[in-house]
Structure 1
Amino acid sequence: MPKVLFLFLTAPQRRIRMRKIIDHGRLVKRLWFVGASGFLATGYSFFASNVSKPVLYYVYPPCGRLSSNAGMVMDELTLVGAAIGMVGAGVLADLYGRKKLYGFELALLIIATLGLIEASEGFQSQRSDGSSDRTMDIYSWLAWWQFWLGVAIGAEHPLVAIITAEWVRTKSRGRMLAAVFAAQPVARLAAYGVGLAVLKGVSSANGLSPDAADDGEVWKHVADQVWRWVRGFAILPALVAVGFRFTIPESPLYYADIVRDTIRGLKDMADIYRDKKGPKSAAKTTDDESLTAYERYRKWRTNGIATLRTKVAGQNLVRLSLLWVLTDIAWYCLALESPSAMATLWADPSATTATTPSAADSNPLTTNGTSCPEFLSWRSDPTNPSTSVYRELERSATRFMLVVSIGSILGSLALMIVINRVHRRVLLMTTCCALAALFAVSGSVLLGTRASPSPESRIAIDVLFGLMHFLFVLGPRTLVLIMGVELFPTVYRGTFYGLAAAAAKVGAIVIRPIIGKVGKSDMALGIRLMVAVALMVLCVAISYFLPEVQRERRTADVESSSQESDGETAAPSPALPGGNKGMFGKTFSKLETMTLEELEMMALKEI
């Protein structure tokens, strides 16, 4: 179509043309690199915190600083920051555009990471009573930067999900989002792999073998380098991600549905696709009906409450928020990212829990001797009190890579294979049912063998926990993220996604201190597993009422739609009524994904 004729189409006709260009686009690889690199950077930053905690506590014992549990306070501040980042980024993305924020959160992550690795105790001296005096408190600095790191991590979630979903082809949307979110399990594996590599490299550079005598100062010098290198490595993927962000323009759906400027959206698409049909040289570059920033804000504010109260989108927000909360509570309830939980699973049943402090533990300058109640807090395994910090980090990394990382990565790969062949809702319900069964079996094993645990029962629990991670990633941990961008209209996609995700973090903020007080024993973990069974049953019940985002492939080939003229208005294909029928029919036949426009019409229906 000649450029000048393109401008004479109506806004709805240009909107249809925009969808056709997206669905015939060639941004698959670039989109994946843009989204996955950001998730890799933020995911690595999050998981590197768990890797570095043992060596951080070894060098700088908490000793009651930041209340009674420095680690818990820093974790809570990270979650609070993540909740704020999710809501803030979602709202700002809807009001001012996705691209304007795309990269800002990574710049914040880089700044926060630099702040973390430069944190210090300042000048230290020894008092006459043997205690230490310092000009700064490293944990205060770490808490401050962990909060801002949480904001950056939280902001990345809605931005990556939204811009990926709005640029990707309809038929590739599910698999692309699954591939982008697969960067998180890879980031977990990278965090522990880098931790091991840095530990071996720094130890070797200082001439220390893994079993060298722990004389305190030498190993503290090594350990201090290790945790700073591990945390600082997050800057590299973040810099790569920032570079990729400049290759993706503003979301065309943002221009079409929020700014009401389809001409500008099509112009950006023409620039990136080198589309000769786009209005690249036309004098008119904006719609007459485009909205100013203040008009967009006023419309967003006045229509938002009404949408929540009277539209299906409001119901979707409540259901997804509940699912997200229950999933996160179950995740943190089981402490599936905690080194102490892994230590409980791998603990030697015949070992003693008596403590045998090393020379480093009794150094008065660094630990205040035995007056410090947390002077052994860097040891996650109470049954192995004589372990060195080298062996502690080595064992912790090995546990996570074997039990957690392998299962999570396999879950991501499995999801990419089945996501276009199984209805999202059916897969969500099925995996939640399977998780409930696994929780019940694992809890029964832990509670039944707590008096006389055997090596065989430990192996069984390890396998069950690996399966849990596989099913969590195959199901609720990823599907809720994907459906969060599919079930909301473009105008409120960022806001509603951010609210649902932040609700989950609020649940995690509440449950974390409770879990910390319950304890780390087999019995405590077994009881939490049984509680998680009820949470998964609730997830199944809520998932049943979610709408479908896929349908059985139609007999009429979809390619016929590409032969329609640009002046025609395309009627949406009929959706499954209520999404609750034929749930298990033709489960493994290839499904057709609904367009975001079709899903938006469903979301904006009156209740």
Structure 2
Amino acid sequence: MAKDQLNVLNALDVAKTQWYHFTAIVIAGMGFFTDAYDLFCISLVTKLLGRIYFHVPGSQKPGTLPPSFSSAINGVALVGTLAGQLFFGWLGDKLGRKKVYGLTLMLMCFSSVASGLSFGSSPKSVIITLCFFRFWLGFGIGGDYPLSATIMSEYANKKTRGAFIAAVFAMQGIGILGGGLFAIMISAAFDARFPAPSYEEDPLRSTIPQADYVWRIILMVGALPAALTYYWRMKMPETARYTALVAKNAKQAANDMGKVLQCEFKDEQNKVEKLAAGNTWGLFSKEFVSRHGLHLLGTASTWFLLDIAFYSQNLFQKDIFSAVGWIPAAKSMNAIQEVYKIARAQTLIAVCSTVPGYWFTVFLIDRIGRFTIQILGFAMMTIFMFALAIPYHHWTHPHNRIGFVVMYALTFFFANFGPNATTFVVPAEIFPARLRSTCHGISAAAGKAGAIIGAFGFLYLAQNTDPKKTDQGYPPGIGVKNSLIVLGVINLLGLFFTFLVPEAKGKSLEDISQENDEDQQVESSV
């Protein structure tokens, strides 16, 4: 602790794990549960949308979304998320974490419901309406990233801070799992209540009118967990670090944390004013560049590179599921059965690799550190990508496809027990309080820029090796094998950029962000 560290902040740093820590994890974590549910549930229903709105009478195959519509539906929420991360990250430092936190949750609730109510007089207009609401859904989700991470980091003690922030992010895995389970239940219920033949048996009757309710219900249910936690978000006090170090109100910070920690703190307004004297430089100053420029480059670049690989991996899932027979040919199922099969496959991957990876990070991040986990994750993802790509034709043999899926699942495990978690944790720890939310938002937005590249670029690169498709307007692709090699190189670059990011394990937020150094410099200049 620096000479003039505020007592209330020191008390937070050394506090034993208490009930309010778990309350904060649940409140912030339910936001991330909603984020993941809303972002990833769309992949469960895109094939259903194609069957409902783009069926061609007399076709030998069920209807599918045109490539431009498919890309728009998958990508527009990511664009909205990027914009929301930048805007709400900045706003969280200007207005406070708590005020903006409620606004993002309201936007997410409204947009989830509106997405399920998408309307239009033609298939095209329905998809356009859906894209419009999913952009605003992504905008709200984007705000949840910097605010949830910042609030949790500023509430936590320094001994278990990494585990608490990672636990909030781990709710993303539970959200993916929850989306898959709910889609399984709703599709099974509709298929039992409204049985229908497969497409090859009867194309017209294979997509029942009630199928239109299935995708709408799945999307709208995403509003429920967010709505249930709105009251508790609004009841949470503003973080002491924002109140004291940014708003410069020592008395309010002492009162708020006194209620949380159940003890009394003295009014330390003189200390706050002394600390504030050194906290004058901003994001675009030379001082920020010299102190944190490389740190911001490190957090933004690693998140950018990670999300190119991570979101591209998600796009490959359907192809792999089909290759190993987990998802039968579309014409062998009716529309609702296809939703069931896709949801079951996604849920299996979540249970076996995605969710365990998140919680390995939670349990180990404060023991072995952020840096070690991120290096290990990028290294193992690189190894598995090359191991899949170089002998790719070996893995495509029918007898070896299960092995391919196992290794592919391990890349998900080490993404989550690795950079997918640590890139979320670290930006919430290493920057000054007055810029913490903004810098986290910038880092997260860089990640979403990578996700957009993965969603749009690799969607074509991995699949289009057919000259006929190129003639039809598809960009020329390089195939799955070469795409996996590219992703391996991207993961290797992420490993190298990790060396720009400092280790924050066991340190006070003020120590790691050098805010204590600013205080000492002010004293020496007097």
User: Which TM-score band applies after superposition, normalised by the shorter structure?
Assistant: 0.7 to 0.9
Match of 1:322 in 2: 301
Q: Which residue of 1 aligns with 2:164?
A: 176
Q: Is the 8 A contact 2:8 2:257 kept in 1?
A: no
For 1:37, give the aligned amino acid: M
Partner deviation per Cα, 1:188-237 (whole Å, 9 max, x = no partner): 11111100100111222335588995453573323211111111111111
With structure 2 as the length reference, what TM-score do the two structures score? 0.86
| 2:190 pairs with 1:202 | yes
CA distance, structure 1, for counterparts of residue 136 and residue 371 of structure 2: 35
Aligned CA distance change for structure 1 residues 286 and 461 (closer, same or farther; 3 Å): same
Moved over 6 A (4+): 62-67, 209-212, 288-291, 602-606
Out of 341, 356, 361, the position equivalent to 1:395 is 341
Q: Are 1:19 and 2:10 matched, yes or no?
A: yes
Are 2:50 and 1:54 equivalent residues in the alignment?
no
Which residue type is aligned with residue 139 of structure 2?
V
- Shift of residue 343, structure 1, vs aligned partner: 3.4
Matched, 1:441 2:387: yes
Which residue is equivalent to 1:226? 214
SS at match of 1:597: helix
The AA in structure 2 aligned to 1:540 is: L
Is the 2:304–2:446 Cα contact (8 Å) retained in structure 1?
yes
Report what 1:543 is aligned to.
Answer: 498
For 2:454 and 2:486, locate their aligned partners in 1 and report how far apart those are by CA, in whole Å. 12
Which residue in the other structure is 2:445 paired with?
502
1:268-417 equivalent positions in 2, closer than 5 A: 268-275=256-263, 277-278=264-265, 287=269, 303-306=282-285, 310-334=289-313, 336-337=314-315, 339-347=317-325, 385-417=331-363
RMSD: 3.1
In structure 2, the residue matched to 1:107 is 106
The answer as to whether partners of 2:30 and 2:171 remain within 8 angstroms in 1 is yes
Distance 2:66 2:52 in 1: 19
- Does the CA-based 8 Å contact 2:294-2:500 persist in structure 1? no
Work out whether residues 6 and 271 of structure 2, in 8 Å CA contact, stay in contact via their aligned partners in 1: no
CA contact (8 A) 1:255 1:265 kept: yes
Give, in whole Å, the separation in 2 of the partners of 1:286 and 1:278: 9
> Contact 2:105–2:140 (CA<8 Å) still a contact in 1?
yes
1:189 is the counterpart of 2:188: no
Query: Whose helix fraction is larger, Structure 1's or Structure 2's?
Result: 2
Task: Describe the shift of the 1:13–1:598 C-alpha distance in structure 2 as closer, same or farther (beyond 3 A).
Answer: closer
Deviation at 1:456, TM superposition (A): 2.4
Q: Could you tell me which residue of structure 1 aligns to residue 483 of structure 2?
A: 528
- Whole-angstrom distance in 1 between the partners of 2:497 and 2:124: 49
Is the Cα contact below 8 Å between 2:13 and 2:508 reproduced in 1?
A: no
Deviations 1:267-320 (A, max 9, x none): 111233342x246xxxxx8948989xxxx9xx87x6221156543211100111
- Contiguous gaps of at least 5 residues in structure 2: 57-62, 466-477, 522-526
The answer to whether the Cα contact below 8 Å between 2:83 and 2:139 also exists between their aligned partners in 1 is yes
Which consecutive residues of structure 1, in runs of 5 or more, have no partner in the other structure? Answer: 1-10, 123-133, 280-284, 349-379, 551-592
Q: 1:3-33, CA deviations, whole angstroms, 9 ceiling, x for partnerless residues? A: xxxxxxxx98571333214532631211111
Distance 1:268 1:14, change over 3 A: farther
**Identity of matched residues, %:** 21
User: What corresponds to 1:83 in structure 2?
Assistant: 82
8 Å Cα contact 1:90-1:495 kept in structure 2:
yes
Q: What CA distance in whole angstroms lies between the structure 1 residues aligned with 2:432 and 2:77?
A: 29
Distance 1:511 1:210 in 2: 33
Report the equivalent of 1:457. Answer: 400
Equivalent in the alignment of 1:584: none
Q: Tell me how far 1:176 sits from its aligned partner.
A: 0.9
Cα distance change of structure 1 residues 206 and 395 upon mapping to structure 2, 3 Å threshold: closer
- Displacement of 1:440 after TM fit? 0.6
Work out whether 1:37 is the aligned partner of 2:30: yes
Quote the Cα distance in structure 2 between the aligned partners of 1:35 and 1:527.
39
Aligned-residue offset at 1:405: 3.9
Contact 2:41 2:180 in 1 (8 A): yes
Following superposition of structure 1 onto structure 2, how do residues 547-566 of structure 1 map, counting pairs within 5 Å? 547-550=502-505
Name the CA shift for 1:495/1:416 in 2 (closer, same or farther; >3 Å). Answer: same
Match of 1:466 among 409, 415, 423: 409
Q: Distance in 1 between matches of 2:185 and 2:70?
A: 24
**Partner Cα separation in structure 2 for residue 118 and residue 492 of structure 1:** 38
Structure 2 residue 364 is matched with structure 1 residue 418: yes
Correspondence for 1:558: none
Tell me which amino acid in the other structure corresponds to 2:457.
Answer: I
TM-score, normalisation: structure 1: 0.75
Q: Are positions 1:595 and 2:483 aligned together?
A: no
Between the two proteins, the alignment pairs up a number of residues equal to 494
Could you list the per-position Cα deviations for residues 429-452 of structure 1 after superposition, in whole angstroms to 9, with x for gaps in the alignment?
Answer: 122111111001111232445xxx
Mapped to 2, the partners of 1:501 and 1:474 lie a distance apart of 18
Deviations 1:558-584 (A, max 9, x none): xxxxxxxxxxxxxxxxxxxxxxxxxxx
Match of 2:151 among 141, 144, 163: 163
Aligned AA for 1:176?
F
Q: Secondary structure at the match of 2:514?
A: helix
Alignment-derived partner of residue 472 in structure 2: none
Counterpart mapping for 1:244-259 below 5 A: 244-259=232-247
* 8 A contact 1:330–1:535 mirrored in 2: yes
Decide which moves more: 12-21 or 475-484: 12-21
